[in-house]
Amino acid sequence: MSKEKIVNCVIIGSGPSGYSAAIYAARADLNPILFAGSQPGGQLMFTTNVDNYLGFPIGISGKNFMENCKKQAKRFNTVILYKNVSEVHFSSKKGGTHRINIENSSSLESKGIIIATGSRPKFLGIEKEKKFMGLGVSFCATCDGFFHKGKDVAVVGGGDTALEEASYLSKICKNVYLLVRKNSFKASKLLQNRVLKKKNITILFSTKILEIIGDNFLEGIKIIHNTNKTIQKLLISGLFIAIGNCPNTEIFQKKLSLDERGYILVKRGSTHTNIPGVFASGDVQDPIYRQAITSAGSGCMAALDLERYLSDI
């Protein structure tokens, strides 16, 4: 890639949001260049089935879904580079050129940037946690709760997300164990009250997971009650880990306005960041919904926002 070449559209990220932005940008003749990063396909590559994306009546595997997204983006001549962006230098002037440094490579200049670098769930750091992702271990109740209809599940965490997840699952599952490491919640009072009212949520404070039970998929967990050191086995079909999510914004620190958790701030109802010509879409700017369909939707918005921006400079 020549250093001097100035392009119209660079997309950083190859999840649903990045590919959706690429399809719209390519069809608007912006000739997008998409950086796939170190996790081509994004978070859905870690899941078995995607059952809630519109248009797939019998569901689709996460890998096949992302392969389809890639093929569709390529069909409209998106250039896909399997590289990480290591540094960005944004111009604060409207119509200015932004520079992207490519890991172990050269740099690239673009008038428009779409950031779709997504987020990553925080892990507990216990054995089989990653191996059983999609096989009983989940990071998203909205995505996987349905697979555990009428069964017993556990949610780990004491913050807002964990309590939201527990509350959601209590409507689908038979029993929900809510495992909280500390002896109190971090979540808002409103959510605490909602959870405390649910008859099928059992709250276990001061507990820690010692082990995930199962050979080929999750069959249960072993927990320890820290106050009296007793060990308990819970037979559950699903373990929902809700101890937090990190947006992938390390390279944008001090380059863009971020919220206190690191999510990119966009102007309400749009994908505009505080820098002209730089747009953000998908999970990286969305601490609330974090779904493939909402990410793809905002990827489309980012391409349309960029197309309008370029027509105006």
Ligand X SMILES: Cc1cc2nc3c(=O)[nH]c(=O)nc-3n(C[C@H](O)[C@H](O)[C@H](O)COP(=O)(O)OP(=O)(O)OC[C@H]3O[C@@H](n4cnc5c(N)ncnc54)[C@H](O)[C@@H]3O)c2cc1C
52 is a site residue for ligand X (CB under 6 A) = yes
Scanning residues 75 to 104, which ones bind ligand X (CB under 6 A)? 84-85
Give the SS3 label for residue 231: strand
144 is known as an active-site residue: yes
* Window of 124-132, 194-202, 236-244, 276-284 that interacts with ligand X by CB under 6 A: 276-284
143 is a site residue for ligand X (CB under 6 A) = yes
13 is a site residue for ligand X (CB under 6 A) = yes
To which H or E segment does residue 80 belong? strand 79-81
SS3 content of the chain, % helix, strand, coil (to 5): 25, 30, 45
* Window of 31-39, 163-171, 188-196, 265-273 that interacts with ligand X by CB under 6 A: 31-39
Token pair 């490491």: residue: 181
Alpha carbon distance, N-terminus to C-terminus of the chain? 25
Give the SS3 label for residue 250: helix
Residue 171 vs residues 31, 198, 265: alpha-carbon distances, Å: 46, 9, 33
The C-alpha atoms of residue 270 and residue 117 are separated, in whole angstroms, by 17
Size of the site for ligand X (CB under 6 A): 42
* Residue 188-207 contact track with ligand X, rule CB under 6 A, x = bound: --------------------
Phi–psi pair at 118, nearest 5 degrees? 65, -155
251 is a site residue for ligand X (CB under 6 A) = yes
The C-alpha atoms of residue 201 and residue 296 are separated, in whole angstroms, by 33
283 is known as an active-site residue: no
Catalytic residue among 9, 29, 69, 140: 140
Rounded to a whole number of angstroms, the minimum distance from the CB of residue 101 to ligand X is 10
* Residue 221-240 contact track with ligand X, rule CB under 6 A, x = bound: --------------------
Catalytic residue among 29, 51, 69, 143: 143
Which residues are bridge partners to 107 per DSSP? 101
User: Active-site positions?
Assistant: 140, 143-144
| Contact residues for ligand X, defined by CB under 6 A | 12-18, 35-40, 42-44, 46-47, 50, 52-53, 84-85, 116-119, 121, 133, 139-140, 143, 248, 251, 282-284, 290-293, 295
